[in-house]
Structure 1
Amino acid sequence: IHENLAAKKIIKRREFDPKWRYVFTALFIAMSFASSQLVFEIFSVTGIVSRFVIYGYFHAIWFALFVLLVEIFYSRRGWCRYVCPIGATYSLLTRTNAVKVSWNKDRCDHCLVCIDTCLVPHVLEITKKNAKLDGDENKKEFRLVGGDCTLCGRCIDVCHHDALKFDNGFKKLI
């Protein structure tokens, strides 16, 4: 919905510094140590909605609806990209991940279908921008940079020229 509204110029696309998620993660950890409870679970939108489905109405569902409205009208995937400590943990773990998505610039026809389907399209945009800045014209394969890629494979599924694929970094060591 957010992308459709932004394409029609009804709303403006907003991006923030993804480093904010580490600040929120530190805040959630500090509050958990101070209260001896898992504080994030109180604010977890997934947890709120699942408790709503299982147990019925309770007031926290209004917070989940508020987050949904923020994501529709203000910032796409704002909760996951900028607040959620689970997203921060995934981003830290995937930086050193051996399996990453690689992009073959010779096979790519720049149709942008991968960017349209990606949950974190800035990862693909950064990789393609870095490939243009890289002075080596002979280099064809580029691994996705940034820790935001969740390795969901949606971009690989929609690429009709097989320019994107999973790449195992260990095979380069062997």
Structure 2
Amino acid sequence: MTPPHPNHPPKTTFFSPAATESKGKASFGQANDQAAFNFLARSLYGTNSADSKLGSDGPKLVSKWVLFQLHPLLILRLPRPIEDGILHNFSLLAFLIKKDYQRLYDFFYQNSTPILDQAEKLGVSREEACHNLLFATCFNSFDGMKFFFPNMLKWVGRAGLKLHIKN
């Protein structure tokens, strides 16, 4: 068996929740979120988020920020007047997420220098480009990996042996 690559985390990082679960069920939600965020940070920005001030908080901060973005669209299946009164008639207060968003912004700003340099050459300010990178990475890519990738794997898994052995 070949030794693990020094730039790749060991498999135990992802599978540790399964190994420590004692009730017969294991949750891969947090491990999947962390793996997705780490993958995006490494593949798009060449950095390890765990080695930054962000640490392992990235997925939690992204989830909180996305909740603030999407809360007007949430459906709780309550009677419409109650749901509208709770969710759809007011904005969540931005100051509740400002500090967390700033941590994400600082991470992206510090680790995307070549991209921000190119944006400046094209006439886009570094700040605006960084906000766009944060949105594209966190809202589009991370949430795609968080929700759609596991769902796709579920359906591939359910497809059966005939598909799995197909060349």
Name the TM-score class by shorter chain: under 0.3
More relative contact order, 1 or 2 (CA 8 Å, 6+ apart)? 1
User: TM-score normalized by structure 2?
Assistant: 0.27
Higher strand share: 1
User: TM-score normalized by structure 1?
Assistant: 0.26
